[in-house]
Amino acid sequence: MRVACIQYKAYESEEQTLKKILPLVHNAVKKNVDLITLPECATFLNKNKSETMINASYEEDSYSLKIIKETAKTFNVNILIGSLQTLENKKSKIKLFNRSFLINNKGIINCKYDKIHMYDVKISKNQVYNESKIYESGETAKIAELKINGKYFKIGMTICYDIRFPNLFRDLAIHGADIITVPSVFMYITGKDHWHSLLKARAIETGCYIVAPAQCGEYFNNRRSYGHSSIISPWGKILSDAKTSKNIIISNIDKNEITKARSKIPSIYVNKKYKIN
C-alpha cells in the first residue's frame, strides 16, 4: 500500500484552499498512491469561533466534502480529509465538531471520526488555546478498513492533540489498527520539541505505521504551524518528512513490518495489573 501526505497551509476560504489542494492531489495520484492524506482543518482555518461557525457546514451541505468525494471517485483513490469543521444539531442546539473523513475510491464516506481530545493549553502568557470553547468533543474511537491490492488494512483515526494520549493509540492497536493517522495543525512552539518524539513514541508503543499529514506556514494571531508531515515505521523510523514547505511525501506500508515489530516487542499484548502505593 502506498500512502501520501500532502502538506500545505489552508486559507480562510475553502474555495481558495481547494484550488490549492486539487492539483496536489492530482500530482500524488500520478505517483500511483492508494491513500492520500490531508491535514487537520483541511480546507479552511479561521481566527475565532464566530468566523469558523460562518464557514462551517452541515455534512450534507459541505462543499469541501462534495468536491473531495468527487475527486476520490474520479481518480479512483482513497482520500483522508484530516478534518472539516462540521455542524450538527444536538439537543436542539447547533454544535461544531472537528471531524475527520475517510473517503474511499468510490467517493463514499468509509468512516468518520470526531476529535476526542481538545487542545486546551496555556503555553505562555500570550499563547493560550481553548478548543473546548469552539468544538464539541468526540466520544468514540474509530477504526476504518480499506482493501488495497487484495489485502485489508485497518486504519485508526486520530487528530492532532490526540497524539499526546497514548492509551487511545494503544486501544486502536489492540483492536487491530495497522496504521494510525494523525492529521494536524501542530504549533511551531511545541512542534520543534515534541512532534517527532511523540510520533515515533506512538509508533514504537503500538507497532503501527503512523501517518501524520500536517499544515505548514504562518497564520493570523501570530500563529505558526510546524509542518514536518511524517510517515513513521512500526519500529519508530522516520520513513519520510515533508520539512517546512508545501510538499508531498510518499511511503510504502508493508504489513510484514508490523508483524516483525510486534513479534520483537509484543508490548501491546501485555496488560499487566499492578497497584500504586
Q: Each residue of 108-148: pLDDT tens digit?
A: 999 999 999 999 888 777 777 889 999 999 999 999 999 99
So what's the pLDDT on residue 64? 98
Q: How far is CA 222 from CA 55, 79, 262, in A?
A: 21, 31, 42
So what's the pLDDT on residue 187? 93
Mean pLDDT, rounded, for 98-108: 98
- Kindly tell me if the per-residue pLDDT of 217 is higher than 80: yes
% of the chain surpassing 90 pLDDT: 90
Mean pLDDT, rounded, for 224-247: 97
With 0-12 / 13-18 / 19 or more C-beta atoms within 10 angstroms meaning exposed / middle / buried, residue 256 is exposed
So what's the pLDDT on residue 82? 98
Sheet holding 238-241, edge to edge: 142-148, 151-157, 179-181, 209-212, 230-232, 238-241
Identity of the residue numbered 114: D
So what's the pLDDT on residue 157? 98
105, three cell numbers: 475510491
Contacts (Cβ under 8 Å, ≥6 apart) of 6: 21, 24, 25, 28, 36, 37, 38, 39, 213, 229, 247, 248
In angstroms, rounded to a whole number, what is the distance separating the alpha carbons of residues 276 and 10?
46
Per DSSP, the three-state class of 142 is strand
146 and 177 Cβ atoms separated by less than 8 Å: no
Mean pLDDT, rounded, for 247-260: 97
With 0-12 / 13-18 / 19 or more C-beta atoms within 10 angstroms meaning exposed / middle / buried, residue 189 is middle
- Kindly tell me if the per-residue pLDDT of 92 is higher than 90: no
What domains are there in the chain, each with its CATH number?
Answer: 2-269 (3.60.110.10)
- Kindly tell me if the per-residue pLDDT of 44 is higher than 80: yes
Q: How confident is the model at residue 162 (pLDDT cuts 50, 70, 90)?
A: very high
115 and 83 Cβ atoms separated by less than 8 Å: yes
So what's the pLDDT on residue 236? 98
- What is the enclosing helix (H) or strand (E) of 249? strand 247-252
In angstroms, rounded to a whole number, what is the distance separating the alpha carbons of residues 117 and 162?
6
So what's the pLDDT on residue 128? 79
- Kindly tell me if the per-residue pLDDT of 57 is higher than 80: yes
Catalytic residues: 40, 115, 160
So what's the pLDDT on residue 223? 85
So what's the pLDDT on residue 90? 87
So what's the pLDDT on residue 123? 78
So what's the pLDDT on residue 129? 80
Average pLDDT over the chain, rounded to an integer: 96
Q: What 3 state SS string does 3-55 have?
A: EEEEEECCCCCHHHHHHHHHHHHHHHHCCCCCEEECCCCCCCCCCCHHHHHHH
265, three cell numbers: 516487542
